[in-house]
Structure 1
Amino acid sequence: MVQNQKTPNHNNSTLYISPVVNKKNDLMYVTPPNPTTATNKLLDTPGSNKSTSTSSFFHFDRASNHNLHDRANDNLLDDPLTPVDKLRLWRHDAIMQHQYKTAEFIGDKILELTNDDANDAFWLGQVYFNQGNYLRCKHLLTSNINYQNSISCRYLAGYSLIKLEMWDDALDLIGETNPFKNNDTNSTSSSATTDGGIKLESSMCYLRGLIYANQNNFERAKECYKEACMVDVKCYEAFNELIVNNLMTPNEEWEFVMNQLNFRDNLDDNNNDELIKLLYMTKLSKYLNTDKFNESEHILREEYELQENCDLMLSRADYLYIQCNFDECLTICEGILNKDEYNFDVLPNYLSCLYELGGKNKLFLKAHQLAELHPINPMTWLAIGTYYLSINKMAEARKFFSKATLLNPNFGNGWIGFAHTFAAEGEHEQAISAYAFAARLFPGTHLPNLFLGMQHLQMNNLNLSEEYLLASYHICNSDPLLLNELGVINFHKNQFDKAEFFLQEALNAAKNLNSDSKTWISIHANLGHVYRRANQPYKALDCFNQVLKISNKNDANILSAIGLIHLRLRNIFQAIDVLHDALAISPLDPIASDLLKRALEANKENQEIFTTTEKLFQLNLPIERRKHESRLLKQRQQQQQQQQQQVRGGENSKNLATPLTTKVRDRNIDISNNSSIDPILFGDTTSGRNNNEELEGEGDDVTLLAQELQNGEASTDDEDNDEDIMDIESD
């Protein structure tokens, strides 16, 4: 009767039930002729004995070197193998070479020969699982009570149910909580596996997290993933789910890796604990502890010579992307794709950089390539949607983003792209719904809350917008885009001190950004508007001039703001010049048009004031000129007296007068009777006429102007105009 293999416990991996490793564990207690050589031999991959009849699949380079090994050590493994063990080796080698029909043919016979041994059932289930026959695998592993008591069989049966998306059944089989958590003191992060593999307990926790995540219970999923990593730090699948899906905040990520994971005790070989910890640190959020990230990357590059490793290059690309350094990030992404053309992990950064830099042709080519080769991958439809988003075809982009979310309902990038299409068209309600769903998928990232705050800001819901932005700020307080939005919120609430604080913080966070990036330009422009509203015009002009100097093209809004500042500073000519430039860029800009109209009116008033000043200067006559006018006035009075005497002397000749002289006499009588009328105005005498001609065009106009100035008619008050100018401050 064939002896069954020993079933492993939760502290072991499936390597424990490998056909040769199981035999090796028994032989480890046999003292070989050469302990060092024997140990190396015992740890070889199953089926790697150096006889010519053995498959060379595992060691191609050593297939002809078997004579170099001690013959006694070869016999050490060859002699104890039973016929069933040799069948198991055959099955195992077939699995490793993906010859599943062979493995199925032999595995079924082995299971009958061993009287339904649970470990042999596990390997036959592996064959079914690898072929995609998940229901057959689940049926096999749950058909016998012995199989159900095996942890490895339960793990594989649960994984099959997950593949079938039978979440409730899978959770019932695996359990809602870790049953080994309090049963064994060795089931902690301080114990390592005896065979160097991944603990089955950790793998079960990982599956439990997958189930909760697909049930949208992300908090429970996060706890299960964290427990899987603490049970065995080698369970990278669980760690990757935590990081990629942003289930933890940046602070929680660094706290978890630095203080909660015990790499030294959890790894069987302490020489690798530093390497694994450094690799994990490069995967963490780059918003915090950038010095530690740079140090870890430097050690991995210099000491471990991993500078060409794709994962390390991807971490550097993530770091550059959050700094909005899209040019260098794109260069690294293209380097990764040159080495590994079908690396899907780099595609989100690659597609985003192409969108930001306007690489429409490359977007089209990549999307076309993915559509041909990977039509059922959600990343393919994300790429297609990004291309249509870049050419402003929102309806098509929305359709393809939606298809990406249908292929994977938990695909957060697809949901954010889907929301962007609504936001671009001003459909805020639909955008808010999509962003809110993305916030549920990514509870540890600040981006969905940031986008929600931006949408409510556009809807003028300032209080609700501030709540979302502050929630995002509590998750990540070092994102320059978020700090910029907080500054904008406080600007609209007329809290200019707080607005200046957040925008200055944004500048500090963006100190490593390229000065020509959109983020840098936006922050400086907004800070200029804050200074403008806070009555600090010269600081505002400095900010606006920096923006115009760095940006490749002039912005009509920035030029209008500069024109407004010059108008308030009474620099009328500069204001007119700048506003003309603004209208040359955007002829239909209503703000620039209104400001230019006011500037021209102010310029006209300045000209009138200048003319009035000249007339007032003319009133400042020399003293001798005034004396001359006084003498002329006396002469005029004397002439009037002489005329009156002549009139009195001519009364006696009234009867001899002709009608013409009568008319003259009657006119003179009228003048004498009306003392308020100046006789000179009628021009009766030659001397009087000459004197009037001498002052014509001088005295009359100056007298009239002086009278108007005394009455206040020629003066203007600019206060109303200033108030109108102050009203034009919309950004």
Structure 2
Amino acid sequence: MSSRRSSQAFSTPVPTGRASTLSRPESNLGASSASLPDAPALTSGYSASPVPAGSSHNSSILSISPIARVLQIPATPQSASATPLPPTTKNAYPFGFGSDMEATSTPVINSSGTASGLQDADAPLSQADRLRLWRHDALMQHQYQTAVFIGDTVLSITDDPNDAFWLAQVHYNTGHYARARQLLMRQELDRSASCRYLAALCLTRLSKWDEALLVIGETNPFQNDDDSDATSDGGIKLEASMCYLRGIIYSNQNNFEKAKDCYKEALTVDIKCYEAFDELITNSLMTPVEEWEFLNSLRFDGNEDGELVKLLYTTKLNKYYNTNRFFEAEQQLQTKYNLEENSDLIQSRAELLFVQCRFRQCLELCEKVLDRDRFKFSIIPLYLACLHELEKKNKLFLIAHEMAENHPEEPVTWLTVGVYYLSIHKIAEARRFFSKASMMNPHFGAAWIGFAHTFAVEGEHEQAVSAYSTAARLFQGTHLPSLFLGMQHLQLHNFTLAEEYLDASYNICKTDPLLLNEMGVVLYHKNQLNQALEFFFRALKVADELDSDTKAWVPIKINLGHAFRQLRRWPEALEHFEEVLRVSKHEPEVYSAIGLVNLQLGRTEQAVINFQEALSLAPNDPVSWDLLKRALEENANSMISKNDG
């Protein structure tokens, strides 16, 4: 099994040629910082009280518009925002934006296409409503200076909290987070859940995590609310968004357990809060088993689109576990929902192919997605890993140059540059760019793993162990950092520590063939050969269940051959070595191993041929030279004995 593999969040490849193999009989193990910022000082201008229970937390802000517009479809849109003209109404702001900041219901649409109880669309608009439309269309057309100018004007005229909210939205969209926050503080808007959410969002953009937590509250004040129905407008519950934002804050305070709980609560409140789901999966906050258990615990039946959402989420889960469920979900999405060409579904299939070590097919799917969306950042780490595996250095150079030119602000850009330098063996440069990516996003798993790999590939084991340990602390739901730590200690012949880390990795994921292979290697070195055989056979079985590429199990077969050789079970050892050569003929250590077996069986002439074949592939291998010398001597002695006889 190739050691250069990873899960969705950790697609940076291990920069060595293979997984641990037991050649002659030593292990040819190949395994493949920036500190997190301190939390800012507490300087909140808000009280620490939770969001008032009277706020409209159980609604979305999907339908919050500058004014309540009649739901009709005009033949020709009056503006770029393509929304019909609004009535003038006292209750124009549903979902908590009325003058009393209490929740109101969505207007009921009658058969004539107008909102029940609202003024007819042909009625003249007030000056304030005309200004609101102007501001709203300017916002939709990204004319932010106009939106700020008119938004400030209408706020001065009306002194309406809703107008303050929308002016703050404009400031937020232009990146003026402090200005938006100041506006929301100046207006007495803390009774509105939406305004507190926006204020906290601004503070997170300013990296004021403690202050943001004070604004939004440390816990969900609505968790005991019995009103758990889906929003009537099909949007995302504001309560769920607030739970998600609370999780972001805890994550940046390095409180990952609380962050995980907040993300899970967000999805429990509303399954449509995909941002929370993505944080859980991308940052490996849950083990593969926990992911499936949590998915099964969610209430999808209470949502009209529940089946679709569940199928989509199913394709995003860890690919080492329940692959049959993935295939079933993929089939339904393709046939029932016509999502065969959906880029996210194609990406999920590519992730499975990568786990199966089918790198060429995975690369084809990655390129198919990138042809449509050149800068789909979520698939780029996977694409980079495939390019590195297949040694596509020119393509790596091109995408690194393209990313640096177009998106220098994205952490994945510098991951791309780092992988390129890693592929051309400029390790110091690769390390610098991996470090830069991890500093831009301290929760970028691929960058941390890549950073650690740069030490591992140079044999700087202490630094590699330190970097992998950081990754293991940050990403507790993935088995890969612990696996790489075990591989490092195995290379250092610290077999006890290696076993501890591999056991920790095994407790997270029991279905990774690479991990099972490494555990077998540790047992081999501890001379527990029969137990080692069990793990090697289990690794082969799992690789077969994953439908892995045939070449992926070559190191496992080699290790099986060595274990049988040590047990002096010569026919079985030869069987596995020869099976490897039928798949991959360029394996010098396998020829040497076959030569050793033939030497033990007294077939000295055949052993000489085997060692010569090994040296033809690796002419500078000193062990093969020593074994060839020994075989020649024994062959000569054998011939002398025959002649004397």
Q: CA RMSD in A?
A: 2.1
Is 1:118 the counterpart of 2:161 in the alignment?
Answer: yes
Structure 2 residue aligned with 1:94, among 138, 142, 163?
Answer: 138
Instruction: Give the SS at the match of 2:592.
Output: helix
Is 1:458 the counterpart of 2:502 in the alignment?
Answer: no
Is 1:326 the counterpart of 2:373 in the alignment?
Answer: no
Structure 2 residue aligned with 1:389, among 413, 416, 422?
Answer: 422
Shift of 1:447: 0.7
Instruction: Give the SS at the match of 1:345.
Output: helix
Alpha-carbon contact 2:315-2:330 (below 8 Å) kept: yes
- 2:57 corresponds in structure 1 to 10
Q: Distance in 1 between matches of 2:114 and 2:600?
A: 95
Alpha-carbon contact 1:325-1:513 (below 8 Å) kept: no
In structure 2, relative to structure 1, the CA distance for the partners of 1:275 and 1:71 (3 Å cut) is closer
- 2:470 corresponds in structure 1 to 437
In structure 2, relative to structure 1, the CA distance for the partners of 1:57 and 1:180 (3 Å cut) is closer
Alpha-carbon contact 1:8-1:16 (below 8 Å) kept: no
Correspondence 1:111-190 to 2 at 5 A: 111-115=155-159, 117-144=160-187, 146-182=188-224, 184-186=225-227, 188=228
Alpha-carbon contact 1:324-1:513 (below 8 Å) kept: no
Q: Which has the higher mean CA deviation after the structures are superposed, 505-514 or 541-550?
A: 505-514
- 2:151 corresponds in structure 1 to 107
TM-score by length of 1: 0.74
- 1:605 corresponds in structure 2 to 637
- 1:342 corresponds in structure 2 to 375
Q: Distance in 2 between matches of 1:577 and 1:417?
A: 41
Q: Distance in 2 between matches of 1:412 and 1:532?
A: 40
1:354-384 Cα deviation digits (max 9, x unpaired): 1001111111111111111111211111111
Equivalent residue letter for 1:262: R
- 2:503 corresponds in structure 1 to 470
From the CA coordinates, give the structure whose radius of gyration is larger: 1
Equivalent residue letter for 1:263: F
1:223-269 Cα deviation digits (max 9, x unpaired): 111111111111111111111111111111111112x211221x3xx
Alpha-carbon contact 1:16-1:195 (below 8 Å) kept: yes
Shift of 1:598: 2.5
Shift of 1:515: 4.8
In structure 2, relative to structure 1, the CA distance for the partners of 1:611 and 1:196 (3 Å cut) is closer
- 2:298 corresponds in structure 1 to 261
Shift of 1:285: 1.0
- 1:197 corresponds in structure 2 to 235
Alpha-carbon contact 1:118-1:150 (below 8 Å) kept: no
Equivalent residue letter for 2:300: F
Shift of 1:606: 2.3
Instruction: Give the SS at the match of 2:301.
Output: helix
Shift of 1:49: 4.9
- 1:58 corresponds in structure 2 to 82
Query: Number of paired residues?
Result: 563
Q: Distance in 2 between matches of 1:344 and 1:72?
A: 42
- 1:302 corresponds in structure 2 to 335
Instruction: Give the SS at the match of 2:62.
Output: helix
1:513-557 Cα deviation digits (max 9, x unpaired): 55553x31111111111111111111111111111221142x222
- 1:398 corresponds in structure 2 to 431
Structure 2 residue aligned with 1:238, among 241, 260, 276?
Answer: 276
Percent identical across equivalent pairs?
55
Q: Distance in 2 between matches of 1:604 and 1:131?
A: 84
1:560-611 Cα deviation digits (max 9, x unpaired): 1111111111111111221222233333423222222332332233234324
Q: Distance in 2 between matches of 1:550 and 1:172?
A: 61
Shift of 1:73: 5.1
Shift of 1:8: 5.3
Shift of 1:81: 5.0
In structure 2, relative to structure 1, the CA distance for the partners of 1:552 and 1:369 (3 Å cut) is farther
Alpha-carbon contact 1:314-1:336 (below 8 Å) kept: yes
In structure 2, relative to structure 1, the CA distance for the partners of 1:96 and 1:552 (3 Å cut) is farther
Structure 2 residue aligned with 1:369, among 381, 398, 402?
Answer: 402
In structure 2, relative to structure 1, the CA distance for the partners of 1:130 and 1:72 (3 Å cut) is closer
Is 1:379 the counterpart of 2:409 in the alignment?
Answer: no
- 2:384 corresponds in structure 1 to 351
Q: Distance in 2 between matches of 1:590 and 1:50?
A: 82
Q: Distance in 2 between matches of 1:51 and 1:285?
A: 47
Q: Distance in 1 between matches of 2:256 and 2:419?
A: 27
Correspondence 1:614-693 to 2 at 5 A: none
Shift of 1:274: 1.1
Shift of 1:112: 2.7
Higher relative contact order (Cα pairs below 8 Å, separated by 6+ residues): 2
TM-score by length of 2: 0.84
1:307-335 Cα deviation digits (max 9, x unpaired): 11101111111111111110100000000
Correspondence 1:568-583 to 2 at 5 A: 568-583=600-615
Shift of 1:421: 0.8
Q: Distance in 2 between matches of 1:59 and 1:111?
A: 22
Q: Distance in 2 between matches of 1:105 and 1:50?
A: 30
In structure 2, relative to structure 1, the CA distance for the partners of 1:137 and 1:227 (3 Å cut) is same
Q: Distance in 2 between matches of 1:55 and 1:203?
A: 30
Shift of 1:180: 1.3
Alpha-carbon contact 2:387-2:395 (below 8 Å) kept: yes
Equivalent residue letter for 2:595: G
- 2:22 corresponds in structure 1 to none
Q: Distance in 2 between matches of 1:340 and 1:261?
A: 31
Structure 2 residue aligned with 1:224, among 242, 262, 270?
Answer: 262
In the alignment, structure 1 segments of 5+ residues that lack a partner are: 1-6, 25-41, 61-68, 614-731
Equivalent residue letter for 1:138: R
Equivalent residue letter for 2:265: E
Q: Distance in 1 between matches of 2:617 and 2:566?
A: 24
